[in-house]
Amino acid sequence: MKRLRFLTAGESHGPALVGILEGMPAGLPLDSEEIDRDLRRRQMGYGRGGRMKIEQDAAKILAGVRFGTTLGSPVALQIENRDYANWTERMSAGPGGPDPAAVTTPRPGHADLAGALKYGQTGDLRDVLERASARETAMRVALGAVARAMLRNLGISIGSYTRNIGGIEAVGGADARPELHRHDAEGLALFADCSEVRALDENSTKQLIERIDDARRRRDTLGGAIEVVATGVPPGLGSHVQWDRKLDGRLAQALLSIPAIKAVEVGDGWSAGALHGTQVHDPIHLVDERLRRGSNHAGGTEGGITNGEPLIIRAVMKPIATVSNALPSVDLRTLHERRAHIERSDTCAVPAAGIVAEAMVALALADALLETLGGDTMHGLRAPFARLRLSTRARLGHVFLLGPMGAGKTSAGLILSHRLGRPFVDLDARIEARAGASIAAIFRSAGESEFRRLEQIALEEACEQGPAVVALGGGAVLGEFAWRRMREAGVTVRLHAPPWELARRLAANEQAVEARPLLAGAGDTAGKLAEILREREHWYARADLHLETTALTAEEVAGAIVGLLRTIEGPLAPLAGGSGRGSPTAPDEP
C-alpha cells in the first residue's frame, strides 16, 4: 500500500481482534453502524459452521474518530471474540500450558504444516492455526468498511455477489441486474444479500444451496467464485509507470491475500486468452461530447489505470481445508500416519468471502485514490476527485447548484446560465408548475415525503435533458440517489453563507420565509437556518466545488462559479473550447 497502511492482530479464539488503519483523511463522517453492518454481512451465508452462531461481531472504535467524524489520526478498532469465554485457559497469554488437547495432525490445505515447520511449532499446531484462521478477516471487513465510507462519500460504490459454488454457475450481474451492475454496485450487493448464498436470482440460489447440502452429506467441503464490482470509479487511479503502481496488480494482491483465494481475474481475463483482439478490446466512442466505451471486457483498467468503466474483478476460493471426511496426514508427535485434525468449520464460505473481498478492494482502491489525489482532508479531495471523474468529458455536463434557501442559487443560477449559454432549470419552480400548487401547499396537503418524491422525479428528468444550470431545492440532496444522478450527469457546486446572512437575504423578500415550509412559523429564522444547516452539512459537504457567497452580488457569484468550473475541466476541455464556449473541433478523418 502506498498511502494507507493497515495492520490487524488477534488469534481466532483470543480475547479480541484489533486493527489500525492509518492514512484516512480528516473530516469523513463515520458511524460505527456502517462498520457493524458489513460485519453482520460477513457472518451470513449458507454453509457456515457453528462459530458464526456464537459471535455477534461489532466494532468498538478506539481511536481516530471524534463526534462521528474522522480526525486524520490512525483509526483503531476492536472486535471482541465472544468464543474466548470458552477458551480462556487454553488461549491464556499468561504462563501455563501445554494445552491438554494439542493439535498435532496437520490439515492438508490449511496453514498447519507449513506454519509449524517454519516457526518450529510442531508440538501444537494451534500456535499456527489460531492466526491463520479466517477469523482475522472480520477485522479486514471492519477496516474495509472505513475505507468504503470514504469511497462512498465521494461516489464510489463497491459490491459483490456469488458467481459459482462447487462448479455450479450462478446468474451473472450483467444479466440479472444490468442497471445495478453498471451504476450501483452497493445496490447490487444488497440484492445479493437477500439470498443465503448471495446469488442474484432464485434459481441460482436453489441450485447453489443444493450443491452445499450435497457436500455436507458427503462430509466434504466446497469453494467457488465471487465477483466484486466497483461503480462510480473515476479514470486515473493506479499508474502504468512502475510495476508496483499498477492497480490491477494491487487489486490482485489484495484479493489473493484473503485466506483460500487462489485465483483472480480482472475483467474477462481467462476467456480473453482464447479470443481475437477485435472481440476483446472495448471500442471508444464519443457520445454527447463524452468518451464512452462500447463494452467493458477490460474490467475497468487499462495499463494498470482505471479507465472510468466499472471495475470487475473475480476471485476463486478453494474448498475449505477442514474436511470432516478427513484426508490422510501425519501425526507430527509420533510420525505415524493418521487422519487430519478436524476443527469446527464451515462447509462453504464463498458468500462470506465476497464481503471480505469487497473490503480488500475498498482498501486497495482507497489507497490508490489517496496516492493519486493526496488528501489530508475530505474537503481537499473534492475538487481533484471531480476533475478525474469529469476527465472523459469535453464539456462538464450539468452544473447543479446546491445550498440552503437564501444561498443565491436562483439569482446567480440565472446569470450563470447566460454566461454558459445553456438553459436554467429551477427544480422547485418545475415541481410547482407540474403539481399546480406551491411547495408550501404540497407540504401541507401531501407531506414532506411526497414532496421529496416529486423532487427526485424532477431531478431525474433534468438529468435526462441536455446540459443545463440546475438550481436544486435546499433538501433535494439528502439522499444517495440524488448524488449518484448528479455525479453521473455533471458537476455539483455548493453555495453557502452563514445563517445570519441567509436570514438577512430572506428577510429582504417578505414572502420568502412564509413560502418555505421548513421556515414558516419559526420566530428565529437565523436559528432555524443554523439548525437545518447542521443537519444537512454532511450532504452539502459532498459537493465538488464550494463557494462562500457573503458580500458577493449575484453577478460576482456567477463569475466566481465560472472560474471554479475552469479549475476542474479535464484534458479534453480545450478541444471543446472550455465550458460553455464554442463547439468541439471537427473530428479527424479516420
Ligand X SMILES: Cc1cc2nc3c(=O)[nH]c(=O)nc-3n(C[C@H](O)[C@H](O)[C@H](O)COP(=O)(O)O)c2cc1C
Q: Which amino acid is at 211?
A: R
Q: Does 142 bind ligand X (CB under 6 A)?
A: no
Quick note: the x/- pattern for ligand X over 54-93, rule CB under 6 A, is ----------------------------------------
**Number of neighbouring beta carbons within 10 Å of residue 575:** 12
Angle of the 554-567 helix axis to the 378-389 helix axis, nearest 10: 70
Stretch that binds ligand X, among 258-266, 460-468, 488-496, 519-527 (CB under 6 A): 258-266
Q: Which is nearer to ligand X, 128 or 298 (CB)?
A: 128
Q: Does 425 bind ligand X (CB under 6 A)?
A: no
Q: Does 111 bind ligand X (CB under 6 A)?
A: yes
Pair 280, 269: CB distance under 8 Å? no
Q: Does 311 bind ligand X (CB under 6 A)?
A: no
Round to whole Å and give the CA distance between 249 and 238: 10
Q: Does 356 bind ligand X (CB under 6 A)?
A: yes
Long-range contacts of 570-575 (CB under 8 A, 24+ apart): 570/387, 570/388, 570/390, 570/391, 570/392, 570/393, 571/391, 572/291, 572/391, 572/392, 572/393, 572/394, 573/393, 573/394, 573/395, 573/396, 575/394
Stretch that binds ligand X, among 132-140, 199-207, 300-308, 497-505 (CB under 6 A): 132-140
Q: Which is nearer to ligand X, 160 or 579 (CB)?
A: 160
| H or E segment to which residue 236 belongs | none
Stretch that binds ligand X, among 8-16, 68-76, 317-325, 428-436 (CB under 6 A): 317-325
Q: φ, ψ for residue 153 (rounded to 5)? A: -60, -30
Grid coordinates standing for 314?
473475480
Q: Does 345 bind ligand X (CB under 6 A)?
A: yes
Angle of the 448-464 helix axis to the 480-489 helix axis, nearest 10: 20
Q: Does 491 bind ligand X (CB under 6 A)?
A: no
Q: Does 140 bind ligand X (CB under 6 A)?
A: no
Grid coordinates standing for 208?
447453489
Grid coordinates standing for 586?
471537427
Q: Which is nearer to ligand X, 49 or 74 (CB)?
A: 49
Q: Does 222 bind ligand X (CB under 6 A)?
A: no
Q: Which is nearer to ligand X, 323 or 476 (CB)?
A: 323
Closest to 458 in 3D by CA, of 497, 394, 442 = 442
Q: Does 184 bind ligand X (CB under 6 A)?
A: no
Q: Does 263 bind ligand X (CB under 6 A)?
A: no
Q: Which is nearer to ligand X, 315 or 493 (CB)?
A: 315
Sole binder of ligand X in the list 15, 49, 172, 559 (CB under 6 A):
49
Q: Which is nearer to ligand X, 30 or 362 (CB)?
A: 362
Distances (CA, A) of 440 to 431, 512, 522, 529: 12, 11, 14, 17
Q: Which is nearer to ligand X, 163 or 389 (CB)?
A: 163
Q: Count of residues binding ligand X (CB under 6 A)?
A: 19
Q: Does 346 bind ligand X (CB under 6 A)?
A: yes
| H or E segment to which residue 459 belongs | helix 448-464
Closest to 581 in 3D by CA, of 467, 492, 459, 464 = 467
Report in angstroms how near the CB of residue 75 gets to ligand X at its nearest. Answer: 22
Residues at the interface with ligand X (CB under 6 A): 49, 110-111, 132-134, 137, 258-260, 320-322, 345-346, 349, 352-353, 356
